[in-house]
């Protein structure tokens, strides 16, 4: 089987680089795409020195077998030399990743919006800040009565909380636009993973984050007592009660129930995750690249998935070395990013 051909092309010059010995892609339903590359560093070539200058953040497009999979900027470069060779490591993040590190431009202030929906809020702060478009794979939902955030807040920290209240998570498109993504429906798994060649399956639980109920409380304003809403966790079966309360700081009273249900969904998403390592190649049985926001059927009794269960691919890692290509999948319970709580847990009979 031929290895996947990965290349990066600089947007400004059109210079293309495709000789890499170590490659690792990361894609996620609720994260921004990233790519790490390693290979020889021919410092005698002027175009190589120019392309990988530190602290320059050049824009690049990334292709796999000529299919555009990511548009981003080179962020980290790590050259090294020893007695045998010079090499370089390069890390690329998709364009919207800058929303996690920069602040909104001062000319966009003040950062307060009344009766704006999520699309209007995003358009106001995203494009002026990082120069990318905003795309929804559904309707933006109802308007927020009032939101305000501080000038030193990152746009991502604000938008991710508002998005979850409307059933969206933040990711990116191959062309570099910011994507407000809703969770895909179940019922069309791309693979059935059981027995061999599943590879290895491990599970991680987060019992500290498991609560019998969550209470959301709106921020109080002058002359107001605010409001609160409690959402029980229907999957909680333990005899002891574990309640949790949180302030919903960017909403008013009408948004509290929806925001609280979103918090319960996030809790379920974080409390258990399965990692399937060592899948051969980068493609699913249908010949498509493994992608987040699709589902698989998993049966792994040794990892407490006692019955075949449909799980959501939260993130994908594609790795390539000189010897082998493998894929790794992080799986979570379906429905949790859309505010839907599963009816049962994989280890329940």
| Ordered DSSP codes for 90-143 | EEEEEGGGGGGT----GGG---EEEEE-HHHHHHHHHHHHH---EEESS---SP
Residue 201 included in any domain: yes
Whether residues 202 and 312 fall in one domain: yes
Residue 55 included in any domain: yes
What pTM value is reported for the model? 0.90
Whether residues 172 and 197 fall in one domain: no
Residue 344 included in any domain: no
Residue 23 included in any domain: yes
The pLDDT score that the predictor gives to residue 109 is 62
C-alpha 187/C-alpha 341 separation (Å) is 16
Residue 232 included in any domain: yes
- 179-200: per-residue pLDDT in tens? 999 999 999 999 999 875 577 9
φ/ψ of residue 184, rounded to 5:
-70, 150
Asked if residue 5 has pLDDT above 80, the reply is: yes
Can you state the angle between helices 155-165 and 256-271, rounded to 10 degrees? 100
The pLDDT score that the predictor gives to residue 249 is 56
Whether residues 88 and 112 fall in one domain: no
Residue 141 included in any domain: yes
Q: Where do we find the tokens 């602040």?
A: 103
Q: Which of 46, 63, 97 corresponds to the end of one domain?
A: 97
Whether residues 227 and 162 fall in one domain: no
Q: Which of 47, 67, 97 corresponds to the end of one domain?
A: 97
With pLDDT > 70 as the criterion, what percentage of the chain qualifies? 94
Whether residues 174 and 210 fall in one domain: no
Q: Work out the pLDDT band at 272, boundaries 50, 70, 90.
A: very high
Whether residues 60 and 78 fall in one domain: yes
What is the average pLDDT value for the chain, to the nearest integer?
89
The pLDDT score that the predictor gives to residue 219 is 64
The pLDDT score that the predictor gives to residue 206 is 92
Whether residues 127 and 238 fall in one domain: no
The token duo for 277 is 């390592």
Largest CA distance in the chain: 72
Element (H, E) at 263: helix 256-271
C-alpha 296/C-alpha 299 separation (Å) is 10
Whether residues 152 and 243 fall in one domain: no
- 293-316: per-residue pLDDT in tens? 999 999 999 999 999 999 999 999
Whether residues 236 and 278 fall in one domain: yes
Residue 343 included in any domain: no
The pLDDT score that the predictor gives to residue 113 is 72
97, 154, 213, 275 from 157: Cα distances, Å = 12, 5, 24, 27
Long-range CB contacts for residues 158-161, cutoff 8 Å, separation at least 24: 158/125, 158/250, 159/99, 159/118, 159/121, 159/122, 159/125, 159/126, 161/250
Q: Which of 75, 97, 119 corresponds to the end of one domain?
A: 97
Whether residues 152 and 226 fall in one domain: no
Q: Work out the pLDDT band at 136, boundaries 50, 70, 90.
A: very high
The token duo for 222 is 């002058």
Residue 287 included in any domain: yes
Whether residues 32 and 164 fall in one domain: no
φ/ψ of residue 126, rounded to 5:
-80, -60
- 152-180: per-residue pLDDT in tens? 889 999 899 889 888 899 999 999 999 99
The token duo for 23 is 């490659």
The residue range of the domain holding 53 is: 6-97
Specify the CATH number for the domain of residue 128: 3.55.50.10
* Structural domain total, the chain: 3
């Amino acid at each position: 089987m031929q290895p996947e051909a990965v290349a990066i092309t600089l947007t400004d010059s059109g210079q293309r680089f495709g000789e890499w010995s170590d490659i690792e892609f990361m894609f996620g339903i609720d994260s921004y795409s990233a790519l790490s590359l390693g290979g020889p560093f021919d410092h005698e070539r002027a175009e190589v020195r120019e392309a990988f200058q530190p602290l320059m953040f050049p824009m690049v497009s990334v292709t796999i077998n000529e299919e555009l999979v990511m548009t981003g900027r080179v962020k980290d470069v790590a050259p090294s030399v020893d007695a045998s060779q010079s090499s370089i490591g390069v890390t690329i993040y998709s364009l919207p990743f800058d929303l996690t590190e920069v602040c909104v431009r001062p000319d966009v202030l003040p950062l307060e919006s009344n009766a704006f929906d999520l699309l209007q809020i995003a358009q106001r702060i995203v494009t002026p800040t990082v120069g990318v478009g905003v795309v929804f794979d559904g309707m933006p939902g109802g308007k927020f009565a009032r939101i305000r955030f501080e000038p030193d807040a990152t746009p991502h920290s604000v938008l991710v909380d508002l998005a979850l209240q409307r059933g969206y998570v933040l990711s990116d498109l191959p062309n570099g636009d910011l994507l407000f993504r809703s969770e895909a429906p179940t019922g069309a798994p791309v693979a059935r993973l059981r027995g061999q060649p599943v590879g290895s399956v491990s599970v991680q639980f987060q019992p500290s984050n498991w609560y019998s109920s969550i209470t959301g409380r709106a921020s109080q304003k002058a002359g107001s007592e605010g409001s609160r809403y409690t959402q029980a966790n229907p999957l909680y079966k333990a005899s002891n009660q574990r309640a949790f309360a949180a302030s919903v700081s960017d909403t008013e009273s009408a948004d509290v129930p929806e925001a609280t249900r979103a918090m319960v969904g996030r809790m379920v998403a974080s409390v258990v995750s399965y990692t399937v390592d060592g899948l051969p190649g980068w493609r699913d049985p249908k010949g498509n690249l493994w992608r987040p926001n699709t589902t698989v059927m998993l049966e792994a009794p040794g990892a407490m998935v006692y019955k075949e269960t449909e799980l959501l691919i939260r993130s994908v890692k594609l790795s390539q070395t000189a010897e082998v290509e493998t894929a790794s999948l992080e799986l979570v319970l379906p429905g949790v990013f859309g505010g839907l709580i599963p009816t049962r847990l994989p280890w329940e009979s």
